[in-house]
């Protein structure tokens, strides 16, 4: 009997691991605004330490959701944002570089995009104009509105 009980515990433990579920573009809905997620250049995703996935059609929706939940960021195992230059690729929000440019529309109208490196962000800003933010400065900016 004991080995069997062990097996059940193992299965339970394995099923609780924190996994990022891929966003199904055109199928999944935003967990903040409830619109369909179709833009793979501006999507975002949160995964809690308990393994629950929240998907967003725009980075600004994820940020508004975080504000609304009013919990420490430590409840999230993953905070991911789409890389504007690699559509469909999600990168860690805390390491990403954010730009707000009126010349690069995003789904919910915040004109907010993310890139992996500061160099990429700077290059985009030279081309499209706008402002550069880190995850921390972006959150400050949005909480003032």
Please write the tens of the pLDDT for every residue from 37-52: 999 999 999 999 999 9
Q: Domain for residue 36, yes or no?
A: no
Cα dihedral sign, 7-12-17-20: positive
Q: Domain for residue 38, yes or no?
A: no
Q: Is the pLDDT of residue 20 over 60?
A: yes
**What is the distance of C-alpha 88 from the center of its chain?**
12
The parent domain of residue 137 ranges over 44-143
Cα dihedral sign, 118-120-126-129: negative
Q: Is the pLDDT of residue 30 over 50?
A: yes
Q: Domain for residue 6, yes or no?
A: no
Mean pLDDT calculated for residue range 106-122? 96
Q: Domain for residue 104, yes or no?
A: yes
Within 13 Å of residue 30, how many CA atoms lie on the same side as its CB? 24
pTM over 0.75: yes
Number of domains in the chain: 1
Q: Is the pLDDT of residue 94 over 60?
A: yes
Q: Domain for residue 120, yes or no?
A: yes
First to last CA, the chain: 60
Mean pLDDT over each residue of the chain, to the nearest integer: 90
Q: Domain for residue 94, yes or no?
A: yes
- CA-based Rg of the chain, rounded to a whole angstrom? 17
Q: Domain for residue 5, yes or no?
A: no
């Amino acid at each position: 009997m004991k080995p069997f009980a062990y097996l059940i515990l193992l299965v339970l433990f394995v099923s609780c691991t924190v996994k990022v579920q891929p966003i199904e573009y055109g199928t999944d809905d935003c967990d903040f605004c409830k619109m369909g997620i179709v833009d793979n250049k501006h999507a975002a995703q949160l995964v809690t330490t308990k393994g629950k996935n929240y998907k967003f059609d725009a980075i600004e929706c994820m940020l508004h959701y975080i504000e609304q939940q009013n919990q420490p960021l430590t409840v999230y195992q993953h905070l991911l944002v789409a890389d504007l230059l690699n559509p469909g690729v999600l990168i860690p929000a805390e390491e990403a570089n954010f730009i707000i440019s009126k010349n690069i529309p995003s789904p919910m109208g915040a004109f907010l995009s993310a890139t992996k490196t500061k160099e990429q962000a700077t290059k985009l800003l030279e081309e499209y104009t706008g402002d550069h933010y880190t995850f921390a400065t972006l959150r400050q900016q949005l909480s003032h509105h």
